[in-house]
Chains A and B, each alone.
Chain A
Amino acid sequence: AQSVTQLDSQVPVFEEAPVELRCNYSSSVSVYLFWYVQYPNQGLQLLLKYLSGSTLVKGINGFEAEFNKSQTSFHLRKPSVHISDTAEYFCAVQADRGSTLGRLYFGRGTQLTVWP
């Protein structure tokens, strides 16, 4: 099976500062990688996904993530955050083959809080 580790449970930053949310994964097969965002009292929304090709993936709201196969990481970044980015962020992994094909495995989440 796959597993995901989000290295920080909480990340506080000031508005307009850059931010990086860290995600590492473990898998014996190739994977697809996703970042989801959950705004307060809302469901999950897909931010971005890595399927193949360029290791730098751009998503919505100015976020981007870089897939690093050798380090099994998929860190999420934004060069300048806004207060509206305050939310919980989930990294998720999905195998591209095998018995767990199609199943999403989530990390425990990182709460990003942006202060004025």
Chain B
Amino acid sequence: EAQVTQNPRYLITVTGKKLTVTCSQNMNHEYMSWYRQDPGLGLRQIYYSMNVEVTDKGDVPEGYKVSRKEKRNFPLILESPSPNQTSLYFCASRVQGLASYEQYFGPGTRLTVT
């Protein structure tokens, strides 16, 4: 089954404790991205990657890091989480090239930073 998976689905952590949220897709998509969803703000893009070793900032990259060492994986790293990073996070992927290809979303990771 074609899908985007994220782990963990739920995470409660404390300020400053480094964490990684994993994202993996099995559709051989070149393009992957991370979004955060906050009430009343919709989804905002954090980082995106157009292929292996190619990443770029989205609209809200502060406090986050990403890496793309393999085509299928695109982990999101919070090196020193803060309470304002409490949010619902989505990973997405699509075929690179034509903008018309839809993005496929993972199930989301709900992060709480205390």
The interface of chain A, by Cβ under 8 A from chain B, is 4, 6, 9, 32, 34, 36, 42-46, 49, 51, 90, 92, 94-97, 101-109
Does B1 reach chain A (CB closer than 8 Å)? no
- Given that A43-B107, A44-B90, A49-B102 are contacting pairs, would A103 and B42 also be in contact in the complex, using a CB cutoff of 8 Å? no
Is the CB–CB distance between A102 and B42 below 8 Å?
no
Distance to closest chain A CB from B36 (angstroms)? 11
Report the bound CA distance from A4 to B100 in whole Å.
Answer: 17
> What residues of A have a CB within 8 angstroms of the CB of B99 in the complex?
32, 94-97, 101-102
Further pairs besides A102-B31, A106-B44: 8, Cβ < 8 Å: A49-B102, A96-B99, A102-B94, A104-B43, A105-B45, A106-B35, A106-B43, A108-B41
What size tier do the contact residues of chain B reach? 20 to 34
Report the bound CA distance from A44 to B33 in whole Å.
Answer: 14
**Quick one: which of A4, A95, A103 contacts B48, CB cutoff 8 A?**
A103
Binary contact readout B40-54 vs A (1 if CB under 8 angstroms, 0 otherwise) = 111111001010000
Does B96 reach chain A (CB closer than 8 Å)? yes
Binary contact readout B61-75 vs A (1 if CB under 8 angstroms, 0 otherwise) = 000000000000000
Is the CB–CB distance between B90 and A43 below 8 Å?
yes
> What residues of A have a CB within 8 angstroms of the CB of B102 in the complex?
34, 46, 49
Is the CB–CB distance between A44 and B42 below 8 Å?
no
**Quick one: which of A94, A97, A106 contacts B42, CB cutoff 8 A?**
A106
Within 8 A of A (CB), among B10-55: 31, 33, 35, 40-45, 48, 50
Is the CB–CB distance between A9 and B40 below 8 Å?
yes
Is the CB–CB distance between A104 and B103 below 8 Å?
yes
Report the bound CA distance from A6 to B108 in whole Å.
Answer: 22
